[in-house]
Amino acid sequence: MATLSAPLLRSHHRHLPVRSSPRRCPSAAFPRGFAPLEPLSSRGPSRTAVRSASTSAAAPEAAEATGGAVPSETAAEEEVVEARVVLPTNESSENLLRIRHTCAHVMAMAVQKLFPNSKVTIGPWIDNGFYYDFDMEPLTDKDLKKIKKEMDRIIRRNLPLVREEVSREEAQKRIQALNEPYKLEILERIKEEPITIYHIGEEWWDLCAGPHVESTGKIQRKAVELESVAGAYWRGDENNQMLQRIYGTAWESEDQLKAYIHFKEEAKRRDHRRLGQDLDLFSIQEDAGGGLVFWHPKGAIIRHILEDSWKQTHLQRGYDLLYTPHVAKADLWKISGHIDFYKENMYNQMDVEDEPYQLRPMNCPYHILVYKRKLQSYRDLPIRVAELGTVYRYELSGALHGLFRVRGFTQDDAHIFCLEDQIKDEIRGVLDLTEEILGQFGFRNFEVNLSTRPEKSVGSDDIWEKATIALKDALDDKGWGYTVDEGGGAFYGPKIDLKIEDALGRKWQCSTVQVDFNLPERFDITYIDSHTEKKRPIMIHRAILGSLERFFGILIENYAGDFPLWLAPTQARILPVTNNELQYCNEVASELKSRGIRAEVCHGERLPKLIRNAETQKVPLMAVVGPKEVEARTLTIRSRHNGELGTMPVDDFISKIQSAVADKSSL
């Protein structure tokens, strides 16, 4: 008897949320056009040996551990692979999309052959392959191997994929005969007629709109792999049945699959959750609760640097800094509309002296209250306020993911209150500021999207047109290419979204600039114009980093935990050859710290072990101290990336570090 799987209709499937553990990681998305077999770092390691002419003990100790060279973790990690495979995407290759679509059907057919009692639901193609959701008993890795073998058999049989059109009544009759309840629900949501069905040979069929390859033999068996099983609620609703979701990947050739696997391995090596633990940067303490980030001393130092740089840059750009409360009366969130439109992402209210209070999910209303504290004149505009404000959003435990999806996070939030004719200049200023801040971290490749007015919106046609033109003009003046997402704007105004590209070519949504016609109306904010009449200002929301937690996670993965000198939590580690040099090392460390350099002394182990530990902890600079260094009041310096720098006085070492930090370069 024929069995039935899911219709792969994009309108039904492309955005089905997973609301249970484990969640698909944003970092797993494969970058468009990325060539994963290329070298993955722009910083080439040095394999220079430590030859310490000034220190009789340093070189023998180091050579003992490394056969004459200081161990270089970076060198081992970044071996150059000559082969290059540029991977296609679903958008660039319709053949690839057809292959993945058909693989989802083939997998569903295989599952129902092996597990006759399983019920099929939906199964779309996705960025890196495909998935399918089944109502069945939990699956194991051993089960995945069986399913893959059955898929291979189906592919080898070269079964044709045949399209058939049927009436709604006929489709319903066939589905009921197979006892597939999820399919009946899907059929009810399909509005188009006739209903289309795709058959695999004469053994299995599926409600489906296509497209597919001509036959299963068009799929390369060795270019397909089943990756994992996860739990997913039907329709993304935690009140519905928990399903078994099987993820697979499919490519046009075996070489492409190998390239993709290489990319996945590199992404795994860079996983911020593992590196956060290995480098002692942060943790999620389950005793305190999921999704709540604990910044450890090393991570906190990096956060301090980020915050300090962010604040200084904003002050220089004419922003005023704010600090606002973490809670407010519930009435404030009623005025803003959050309780009506955002309640599912907010925590339960708390009672304070018989009055309901609410943890803030956003900072916007607070900044509006600061604006409203006094009467504003048109001469005062634009007014720019910025805050590193911590907000709290309700997330199901299954949706939490390291630093990328948390329950409490700090936004680099800012709001600009301006006149209509100031929109373009203010947006251009935000774009310049965004480029400056992100450029500090080496992010210079951006993907920019301009989203315009949706069908349901607030505000007049005139102001929407003026705001949209202002955003376009600002982007054109900046010289940035962008894609227009017609109708993709927020209901309250048009917006610009910017994605950065990391060292693996992955795209990350960070920055956003949004014009808002809604909140100024809700809060009745005004200014006095040149005719002493009250007018409504334009409000611009903007964030550059997005949130400190998520951006920190991106940085960890971008650098693979190997932070540049200016950002590294420990910039220099001083290593005595024996304890006889310890006093001098402590004196040097104190001097470095007094000059603003993050330095520490490590001892108690043989020098080779100290060197290995510094490499493992990705410390940019090591200063080896033996008897001759103590006598000459010098240091023998080795850079993690540039090898041995020679022996130099302490003051010279300090000057070199300070110069490199100022330039945000390496040493």
Catalytic residues: 364, 393, 411, 413, 415, 495, 541
Cβ(50)–Cβ(626) under 8 Å?
no
CA distance 613 to 602: 9
Q: H-helix or E-strand containing 358?
A: strand 355-359
Nearest Cα to Cα of residue 395 among 126, 26, 23, 27: 23
> In the numeric block, which tokens belong to residue 480?
């940035």
Q: H-helix or E-strand containing 278?
A: helix 272-278
Cβ(565)–Cβ(660) under 8 Å?
yes
Exposure on the CB side of residue 150, measured as CA atoms within 13 A: 17
Can you tell me which residue has the tokens 């370069």?
665
DSSP 14: T
Cβ(197)–Cβ(226) under 8 Å?
no
DSSP calls for 577-643: SSGGGHHHHHHHHHHHHHTT--EEE--SS-HHHHHHHHHHTT-SEEEEE-HHHHHHTEEEEEETTTE
SS3 assignment for 98-152: HHHHHHHHHHHHHHHHHCCCCEECCCCEECCEEEEEEECCCCCHHHHHHHHHHHH
Q: What is the CA radius of gyration of the chain?
A: 29
Cβ(29)–Cβ(23) under 8 Å?
no
Inter-axis angle of helices 582-594 and 650-663, nearest 10: 40
Q: Edge-to-edge strand order for the sheet containing 599-601?
A: 599-601, 572-576, 621-625, 634-639, 643-649
Residue 493, classed as helix, strand or coil, is strand
Exposure on the CB side of residue 571, measured as CA atoms within 13 A: 26
CA distance 94 to 252: 11
Residue 386, classed as helix, strand or coil, is strand
